[in-house]
A and B are shown apart, each in its own frame.
Chain A
Amino acid sequence: MIASIVAQASPSFSLPANICFGITAAVMIGSAIKVVTTKNVVHAALYLVMVLAGVGVNYLLLQAEFLALTQFLVYIGAIVVLFLFGVMLTKAPLGRSEDLDNLRQRPLALLVSLILLGVLAGTLLDSFGDDKLPFRLSPEGNTQAISDSIFSTYLIPFEVVSVLLLAALIGAIVLARKD
């Protein structure tokens, strides 16, 4: 439903979509910065939820509604909970703590990420400039197309991913077992 609204909306007038994008992007960047700077581990996890949700909204804007739902379910529903369990099990300080950051490391890290951002942004602006996104997907969504594609063209990668998940499951159990 959301997808069809957005899909119908975006080609005709991009302003609402752009406004939506702008707000989401601002929230995402802000939350992302908080994730890496906040002094509270649990807060970081919650800010991460904001970022991941923003990514989901971006998927919607890009007319990938199945992916957006997956993002919400898997990331926000499962992975963040996993993170919270991780915080709990490692007995991280739940309140504010001053030593979450490696201060010696900070200038170098800042420099590196800024260089990286500069290189990336420069290259992107240089190569893609004002390219517009082509929207030619059907209004009824593309979930069926994804499933067709996964179970025909990408069947083997899909199976491999299943095996990988199984391996990760077993690996995690073996690693975390208490003996």
Chain B
Amino acid sequence: MLLNQFLLLSAALFCIGVYGVLVRRNGVLVLMSIEMILNAVNINLVAFGTFHGIAGQVFALFVIAVAAAEVGVGLAIILLIYRNSRSIDIDQLDELKG
């Protein structure tokens, strides 16, 4: 098997994730896209890790743990946004508008 097939798959997943982050209006869907990005990164880590023993897998594990934490806090934030504005439409969160 080639290294590149995993890397290209991961690149594709990453770009789809980026597209999702940029285009989705629902906060939960944005978080899902972020999860895809993180998974793409993990595939990379493990694929490259085959050259370096076990370290890549350990780091992938850490990323999974951090991702779990991130989802927890992210969903809490979205819940809070929902409670404050009765909507999780990211498009409406334009308090930064100049």
Contact = CB atoms under 8 A, between A and B. Distances in A.
On whether A and B touch (CB less than 8 Å), the answer reads yes
Interface of A: 10, 14, 17-18, 21, 25, 28-29, 32-33, 35-36, 41, 44-45, 48, 51-52, 55, 58-59, 61-64, 66-67, 70-71, 74-75, 78-79, 82-83, 85-87, 89-92, 99-102, 105-106, 108-110, 112-114, 116-117, 120-121, 124-125, 128-135, 137, 142, 145-146, 149-150, 154, 157-158, 161, 164-165, 167-169, 171-173, 175-176, 178
Contacts of B3: 128, 131-133
A48 B65 contact: no
A17 B61 contact: no
Interface string B51-80: 101110110111011111111110111111
8 tightest Cβ-Cβ pairs between the two chains A and B: A168-B69, A36-B20, A109-B22, A175-B76, A172-B76, A113-B19, A120-B11, A117-B15
A36 B50 CA distance: 31
Given A90-B88, A168-B73, A124 B7 contact: yes
A75 B61 contact: no
B26 A133 contact: no
A41 B43 contact: no
Contact of A48 (B32, B49, B77): B32
B1 A36 contact: no
Given A67-B64, A133-B47, A171-B76, 10 more contacts: A35-B20, A48-B35, A48-B36, A62-B6, A86-B79, A109-B23, A112-B22, A132-B3, A133-B6, A157-B62
A86 B79 CA distance: 7
Contacts of A134: 50-51
Contacts of B58: 146, 149-150, 154
Interface of B: 1-9, 11-20, 22-29, 31-33, 35-36, 39, 42-43, 46-47, 49-51, 53-55, 57-58, 60-62, 64-73, 75-80, 82-83, 88, 90-91
